[in-house]
Amino acid sequence: MHGGLVLWLKGWARMAESRRRAGERREGRCHKMGRSVFQTLLGMGESRVMCRWTCSLWKLLWQELLCYTILFLLISLMYRCFFTDAQQTEFERLIRLCRNQSAGLPITFLLGFYVTLIVRRWWEQYTLLPWPDTIAIFLRGLVEGEGDQPRLVRRTIIRYILLAYILCLRQLSIRLRKRFPSMKELARTGIVRADEAARIGEEDSLEMYESNWCLPIKWSVEVISRAQKDGLIKTAPGYSHMMLRLSEFRTGLTKVATYGHIPVPLVYTQVVHLAVYVYFAASLVGEQWIIKGRSDFKRKDEEVDLYYPIFMTFRFLFVFGWLRVAETLYNPFGEDDDDFELNELLNRHFKVAMTIVDDTEEPPQLQKDIFWNQTEPELISDPGWSEAEVLRGNGEVESGAPEEEEEVLRHSHSALSAAERRDPRL
């Protein structure tokens, strides 16, 4: 009797604690929801993306939209205030002509295909950029041995492949050319020695087929072959995998260089730009309000005389914004806000790859994790484990007999509500 009462009290205490935590979570969610609504109304939540300036539509188009608006209002002012009645009648005929002719331009069709092509090229160029991490991991696991020679092999290969990375992409990237304008600047950074730079050459030409960026990869192959003969690489499959990874690295650089040297056909770009410019040039006249024409010539929206067509402004933002997206992404190796940050990417590659091949720190000691005794482990945000259990991390909870613990859990679980049993977060 006494033992059952104790078990019931323990279960009731756990139920009360779980309900308290559930209430705190509900209050937190309500508070977060209210704050989200408040921020959205003030333009501070997810809608704040419309208020940003860097890489934004407003930064790209404010000058063009301002010029277009001023030009439209000047034409409207002349039409309304300076034209005679006969001139206004002739101008209204021109308005109807421009309005009818511009409606047939396939502006959405042409621009949609063009932007799709440019965005796909932009993303494919980034995904084709090779990362040295895989090569560094293979070097760390395959080039074994004591002394400085294995370390020298690993570091030299990483240095060579990153040198090839720089020499290839500096032909395309303005940022890399400004950072490494010559081989002397490269030698000062330490990525290439003076004798190696002399063998590569000056690399002043921007032509794809006149660069020697593949030469450091060739040296890497020779270093790997020599390491395999010296016994630093003990398995033939490991040697084959290293050669494959070097070939994949070279293939990625070659494809990126090909994208940079073979652009979108000029005719396609000219057709799209011509269609957009002609359409909005005709809209300068075609979107003017007819003020003196017969009622059958007027549109229904012209019953309200507006000095400036608001929806034409939105159309300008949509179409020209689409076109500016294509122009911005056309060359992702420039200096625009959305272009690739190759300097930061190169710094990351050098740091991570050198750390992988050179770091001799021992991994953490093998221990049982905190889910060790769980048959169906689940990741719960707040599982209620004590600090001692988390620090111990072996999943062993100090408690009494397992039967007693099981009985407590059964009583506490039966006291929970249906919603709390369905949602482990409650």
Q: State the DSSP string of 92-126.
A: HHHHHHHHHHHTT--HHHHHHHHHHHHHHHHHHHH
Last residue of a domain, one of 342, 358, 388: 342
Maximum separation of any 2 CA atoms in the chain, in Å? 109
DSSP symbol at 56: -
Q: Is residue 69 part of a domain?
A: yes
> Where do the H-state alpha helices sit in 43-193?
57-77, 85-102, 107-128, 133-142, 148-169, 174-179, 183-189
Residue whose entry in the numeric block shows the structure tokens 């000056």? 202
Residue whose entry in the numeric block shows the structure tokens 């009648």? 89
Q: Is residue 403 part of a domain?
A: no
Q: Is residue 369 part of a domain?
A: no
Determine contact, residues 95/288, Cβ cutoff 8 Å. yes
Q: Is residue 311 part of a domain?
A: yes
Last residue of a domain, one of 303, 321, 342: 342
DSSP symbol at 43: T
What does the alpha-carbon distance between residue 362 and residue 352 come to, in Å, rounded to a whole number?
17
Same domain, 107 and 161: no
Same domain, 93 and 174: no
The model carries a pTM of 0.72
What does the alpha-carbon distance between residue 357 and residue 372 come to, in Å, rounded to a whole number?
33
Please report the pLDDT score of residue 33 as a whole number: 55
What does the alpha-carbon distance between residue 68 and residue 316 come to, in Å, rounded to a whole number?
9
Q: Which of 327, 329, 326, 278 is nearest to 112 (CA)?
A: 326
Please report the pLDDT score of residue 377 as a whole number: 84
Same domain, 84 and 121: yes
Same domain, 118 and 134: no
Q: Which of 163, 159, 157 is nearest to 138 (CA)?
A: 157
Q: Is residue 397 part of a domain?
A: no
Q: Is residue 302 part of a domain?
A: yes
Please report the pLDDT score of residue 350 as a whole number: 95
Last residue of a domain, one of 209, 235, 257: 257
Same domain, 75 and 173: no
Same domain, 92 and 134: no
Determine contact, residues 133/352, Cβ cutoff 8 Å. yes
Q: Which of 142, 202, 213, 193 is nearest to 357 (CA)?
A: 142
Domain that holds residue 106: 58-127+264-342
Question: pLDDT (tens digit, 0 to 9) for every residue of the chain, 426 residues total?
Answer: 555 555 656 666 666 666 666 666 665 555 555 555 545 544 444 456 667 767 677 777 888 889 998 999 998 888 888 888 888 888 888 888 888 887 777 888 889 899 999 999 999 999 999 999 999 999 999 998 777 899 999 999 999 999 999 999 998 999 999 999 999 999 999 999 999 999 999 888 777 778 899 999 999 999 999 999 998 998 899 999 999 999 999 999 999 999 888 888 889 899 999 999 999 998 888 888 877 655 555 555 555 666 777 888 888 888 998 898 888 889 899 888 778 999 999 999 999 999 999 877 788 888 888 888 888 888 877 666 666 666 665 545 444 444 444 444 444 444 444 444 444 444
- The domain total for the chain is 2
Please report the pLDDT score of residue 38 as a whole number: 46
Distances (CA, A) of 231 to 150, 224, 244, 293: 10, 11, 19, 93
3-state helix, strand, coil in the chain (%, to 5): 70, 0, 30
Same domain, 148 and 246: yes
Determine contact, residues 77/308, Cβ cutoff 8 Å. no
Amino acid letter, residue 271: V
Count Cβ neighbours within 10 Å for each residue of 207-238 and write b for 16 or more, e otherwise.
Answer: ebeebebebbbebbbebbeebbeeebbeeeeb
Distances (CA, A) of 31 to 24, 39, 40, 409: 10, 12, 14, 32
Same domain, 104 and 218: no
Same domain, 242 and 327: no
Same domain, 304 and 186: no
Same domain, 151 and 233: yes
Q: Is residue 367 part of a domain?
A: no
Provide φ and ψ at 291, rounded to 5°.
-110, -20
Q: Is residue 16 part of a domain?
A: no
Please report the pLDDT score of residue 93 as a whole number: 87
Please report the pLDDT score of residue 324 as a whole number: 87
Determine contact, residues 217/135, Cβ cutoff 8 Å. no
Same domain, 231 and 272: no
